[in-house]
Structure 1
Amino acid sequence: MTDKDNAVTLKEWANIAIAKHTRKIFKYEARVLQDKDSEDLHQIRVGMRRLRSAIAGFAVALELPPTVNQKNIAKIGRSLGKLRDLDVLLANLANNYRPLLPAGEQKSLDKVIKSLNKQRKKEVKQVRQTLNSKLYLNLQQELQNWLEHPRYQAIGDLSIYPVLPDLLLPQISQLLLHPGWLVGVELKEGTIQFPESLNTKAVEQLLEQEELILHDLRKSAKRTRYNLELFSQFYDDIYHYYLKQIEQIQEVLGQIQDCYVLREVLEKALKSVVAEKMPELATLLTQTRSQKWQEWELLQEEFLDDKTRKELRQTIQQPRVNSEMRDQVGGMRN
Structure 2
Amino acid sequence: MSEQELKLHVPAHSRAGIVKELTQQPVTRVRLHALYFDTPSRALVKGRIALRLRQEGRKWVQTLKMPGDHPLSRIELNHPRPGPSLDLTLYHGTEAGDALAKITEQLEVCYETDVKRMLRKVRSRQGLVEIAYDQGILRAGSIELPISEIEFELISGRIEAIFVVGKRWQKAHGLIMDARSKAERGDNLAMLNQTLDRIKSGKVEDAEGLNAKAIAKFWSPRSSQLPSLNNQMTIAQALVLVTHECLDQIIRNAAVLAEVDTLGIMQAGKAEHVHQLRVGIRRLRSAWSLFNGLTPLPPREMREAIKPLFAKLGGTRDLDVLNETLLPILRAAGQPPLILAQDYDDVPANELVTSQTFQGWLLDLIEYTIAPPKELPNAYESTEAEENPLTTHSTALSKTTVQVVPLHAASNLVAPIQALKEPALKHALIGRLKKWHKRVIREGLKFEEIDIEARHELRKRAKRLRYGLQFAETLLPEVRLRSYRKELANVQDILGEMNDLAVAREHFVILRDTQPSAWFACGWITSRLEILTHRATSAFKTLSKTEPFWR
TM-score by length of 1: 0.70
Match of 1:176 among 425, 437, 441: 441
* 1:42 and 2:267 aligned: no
The residue aligned with 2:254 is 29
Trace 1:248-263 onto structure 2 (pairs within 5 A): 248-263=490-505
- Number of residue pairs matched by the alignment: 274
Trace 1:261-300 onto structure 2 (pairs within 5 A): 261-271=503-513, 276-300=516-540
Unaligned runs of 5+ in 1: 186-208, 319-334
CA distance 1:30–1:243, change in 2 (3 Å): same
What letter matches 1:292 in structure 2? L
The residue aligned with 1:322 is none
Offset at residue 290 of structure 1 (A): 3.4
CA distance 1:156–1:80, change in 2 (3 Å): farther
- 3-state SS of 2:244 partner: helix
* 8 A contact 1:53–1:226 mirrored in 2: yes
The residue aligned with 1:161 is 426
1:242-286 superposed Cα distances (whole Å, 9 cap, x missing partner): 2232222222123223333222101213435x8x53454344324
The residue aligned with 1:92 is 325
Q: Distance in 1 between matches of 2:256 and 2:245?
A: 18
Q: Distance in 2 between matches of 1:217 and 1:243?
A: 17
* 1:140 and 2:404 aligned: no
CA distance 1:161–1:28, change in 2 (3 Å): same
The residue aligned with 1:206 is none
* 8 A contact 1:52–1:74 mirrored in 2: no
Q: Which has the higher strand share?
A: 2
Q: Distance in 1 between matches of 2:300 and 2:256?
A: 24
Q: Distance in 1 between matches of 2:257 and 2:232?
A: 35
The residue aligned with 2:388 is none
The residue aligned with 2:472 is 231
What letter matches 1:128 in structure 2? E
* 8 A contact 2:240–2:369 mirrored in 1: yes
- 3-state SS of 2:454 partner: helix
* 8 A contact 2:448–2:533 mirrored in 1: no
What letter matches 2:505 in structure 1? R
Match of 2:460 among 203, 219, 226: 219
The residue aligned with 2:228 is 4
TM-score by length of 2: 0.44
Q: Distance in 2 between matches of 1:230 and 1:181?
A: 26
What letter matches 2:435 in structure 1? P
State the structure with bigger RCO (CA 8 A, min sep 6), 1 or 2.
Answer: 1
CA distance 1:7–1:22, change in 2 (3 Å): farther
Offset at residue 216 of structure 1 (A): 2.3
Match of 1:123 among 320, 331, 346: 346
Unaligned runs of 5+ in 2: 1-68, 71-226, 260-266, 372-405, 408-415
Offset at residue 28 of structure 1 (A): 1.7
* 8 A contact 2:353–2:359 mirrored in 1: no
* 1:17 and 2:242 aligned: yes
What letter matches 1:177 in structure 2? R
What letter matches 2:454 in structure 1? I
Offset at residue 49 of structure 1 (A): 0.9
Offset at residue 157 of structure 1 (A): 6.0
* 8 A contact 2:462–2:492 mirrored in 1: yes
What letter matches 2:499 in structure 1? Q
- 3-state SS of 2:228 partner: coil
* 8 A contact 2:294–2:428 mirrored in 1: no
- 3-state SS of 1:177 partner: helix
- 3-state SS of 2:299 partner: coil
Q: Distance in 2 between matches of 1:268 and 1:80?
A: 22
The residue aligned with 2:163 is none
The residue aligned with 1:325 is none
Q: Which has the higher helix share?
A: 1
- 3-state SS of 2:445 partner: helix
Query: Could you say what the CA RMSD is over the residues aligned between the two structures, in angstroms?
Result: 3.1
- 3-state SS of 1:231 partner: helix
CA distance 1:61–1:43, change in 2 (3 Å): same
* 1:83 and 2:303 aligned: no
Q: Distance in 1 between matches of 2:230 and 2:529?
A: 47
* 8 A contact 1:64–1:146 mirrored in 2: no
Of structures 1 and 2, the larger Rg is shown by 2
Offset at residue 5 of structure 1 (A): 7.9
* 8 A contact 1:172–1:224 mirrored in 2: yes
Q: Distance in 1 between matches of 2:229 and 2:295?
A: 21
* 8 A contact 1:65–1:146 mirrored in 2: yes
- 3-state SS of 2:451 partner: helix
CA distance 1:293–1:64, change in 2 (3 Å): closer
The residue aligned with 2:73 is none
Q: Distance in 1 between matches of 2:231 and 2:459?
A: 33
Q: Distance in 2 between matches of 1:153 and 1:75?
A: 32
Q: Distance in 1 between matches of 2:277 and 2:448?
A: 37
Q: Distance in 1 between matches of 2:473 and 2:230?
A: 17
